[in-house]
Amino acid sequence: MSVGGDEAIGIDVGGTKINAFRVARDGTIAERSSMPTPADDEAATLASMVALARSLTTPEVLAIGVGAAGMVDTTDGVLRFAPNLAWRDLPIAQRMRDALGLPCQVDNDASMAAYGEFRFGAGRGYRHLLLVTVGTGIGGGIVADGRLFRGANGFAAEIGHFIVEPDGPLCGCGNRGCWEQVASGGAIGRVGRATVLEHPHSLLFRLADGDPSKVTGKLVTQAALQGDEVSVGIVAEAGRRLGEGIAGLVNVLDPQVVVVGGGVIVAGDLLLEPARASFVDAVEGPEHRPRVPIVPAQLGNDAGAVGAAALALEELGRVMV
Ligand SMILES: [Zn+2]
C-alpha cells in the first residue's frame, strides 16, 4: 500500500479564534495558521475553517480533525449547540469532506485538548485522564482506558454545566449555578468587579483605574500574580470551588490524573494549591485511594488542534484496519 504521508490537519474553533495546524503523527507541528472567528456568521465560520484547512493541505495530509467549542454530535460531525455562541447545527464534517475530499473527525474542543494532553502533554504515560479547561467557562475531556469517552452522542464531559449552586449566577446555557459560574475565569472577573470598590488600596483597584467595568478574570489573575492580596483571595476561592468540583468528578470517573488547562492556568499554584486542598477535603476516602495528581496542562493553546489531528489519524487507522 502506498501512503502519501503521515500527517493530519488539526483545527481548533473557539469563539474568538480558529487555530489550524499541520501535524505529524508524533505530534510535531509542521505548520500553523490562524484566523479570527466570524462567530456571529455560521457560513463564514465554516468557510474560514475550509480556507485554513485548504491552505495547509499537502499530499502528506491524510485526514482532518476539528475541535469545536460546543456540543458536537460525533456520530455525524455536527456541532448542535454552543452555549456562549450563536452556532446551531453546524455541519462541520460534511463541509470539510466535501471541500477537501478527506475524512474528517469532529469533536468538542476540550475533548480534543484532552486527547492532545493524553498523547503528547501532561497526560503522557496515563490511561485514565480528566482534563478540566478553565477559561471564560469550564470545559472538559475524559480519556478512559486510553480512549476518548464521548457518551452516546458525543455530549459527554460538558463538565462546566453541572449545577453546584441552584440559586447561583445565571449561566450561558440558561441554568443557574453551573460549576463554570463559580470556578472559571468568568467567575473570577465577576467577583472582582463586585468587590474591587471595597478595596481602594489594592493593586487590582489601581490596575482597573477604580472602574469595576474594567475588571476581568485576566486582570484579577495578573494582579494576583503580582502579589495583590485581594486578587490572590479571589483566585484562591475559584480554586477552592474548582477542587470541590474535581472531587465530584473523580468520585464518578476515577482517573489517574487531572490535568488543568485553559487561560486561567497562568495563575499556576495560586489556583491549583487551593484546588488540591479542597479536592482532598471533598473526594471520597482520600486516604484509601492512590493520590490523584492535579497538574497544569503542558500544550497550552495548541492542545486542541494537536489532539484533533492525532485523533483524526487514529480514527483513520481504525477504518483502514
Ligand atoms: Zn451552564
Ligand 1 geometric centre to CA of 137 (Å): 9
Ligand 1 geometric centre to CA of 90 (Å): 20
Cα distance between residue 66 and residue 74, in whole Å: 11
Average pLDDT over the chain reads: 94
Residue whose grid cell is 471520597: 284
Ligand 1 geometric centre to CA of 168 (Å): 11
Ligand 1 geometric centre to CA of 167 (Å): 12
Cα distance between residue 290 and residue 128, in whole Å: 13
Q: Residue 185 is inside which H or E element, if any?
A: helix 185-195
Cα distance between residue 79 and residue 83, in whole Å: 11
Ligand 1 geometric centre to CA of 172 (Å): 6
- Nearest-5° Cα angle at 42, 41 to 43: 95
Highest mean pLDDT among 35-39, 66-70, 192-196: 192-196
Cα distance between residue 202 and residue 112, in whole Å: 39
| Sign of the torsion angle spanned by Cα atoms 194, 84, 272, 247 | positive
- Nearby residues for ligand 1 (ion, Cβ within 5 Å): 161, 171, 173, 175, 178
Nearest to 64 by CA among 19, 5, 7, 110: 7
pLDDT grade, residue 85 (50/70/90)?
confident
Nearest to 133 by CA among 104, 158, 164: 158
**CA 67 and chain centroid, separation:** 10
Ligand 1 geometric centre to CA of 179 (Å): 7
Ligand 1 geometric centre to CA of 6 (Å): 39
Residue type, 118: F
| 110, burial (CB in 10 Å: exposed 0-12, middle 13-18, buried 19+) | buried
Inter-axis angle of helices 217-225 and 269-282, to 10 degrees?
A: 100
Ligand 1 geometric centre to CA of 173 (Å): 4
| 40, burial (CB in 10 Å: exposed 0-12, middle 13-18, buried 19+) | exposed
Collapsing DSSP to helix, strand or coil, 302 comes out as helix
Q: What is the DSSP-derived secondary structure letter of residue 64?
A: E
Ligand 1 geometric centre to CA of 193 (Å): 21
pLDDT tens-digit profile of 234-287?
999 999 999 999 999 999 999 999 999 999 999 999 999 999 999 999 999 999
What residue spans of 66-137 are helical by DSSP H?
92-100, 109-120
Lowest mean per-residue pLDDT among 27-36, 38-47, 191-200: 38-47
Ligand 1 geometric centre to CA of 104 (Å): 29
Identify the residue with better confidence: 82 or 27.
Answer: 27
Nearest to 305 by CA among 67, 135, 115, 72: 67
Nearest to 18 by CA among 62, 65, 68: 68
Q: What is the mean pLDDT of residues 151-167?
A: 94
Ligand 1 geometric centre to CA of 162 (Å): 7
Ligand 1 geometric centre to CA of 30 (Å): 37
pLDDT grade, residue 39 (50/70/90)?
confident
Under a CB-based contact definition with an 8 Å cutoff, are residues 283 and 258 in contact? no
What residue spans of 78-175 are helical by DSSP H?
92-100, 109-120
Ligand 1 geometric centre to CA of 5 (Å): 42
Ligand 1 geometric centre to CA of 130 (Å): 19
Q: Give the neighbor-by-neighbor strand order of the sheet with 129-134.
A: 147-148, 138-144, 129-134, 257-261, 294-296
pLDDT grade, residue 1 (50/70/90)?
very low
Nearest to 133 by CA among 11, 245, 273: 245
Ligand 1 geometric centre to CA of 174 (Å): 6
Ligand 1 geometric centre to CA of 312 (Å): 29
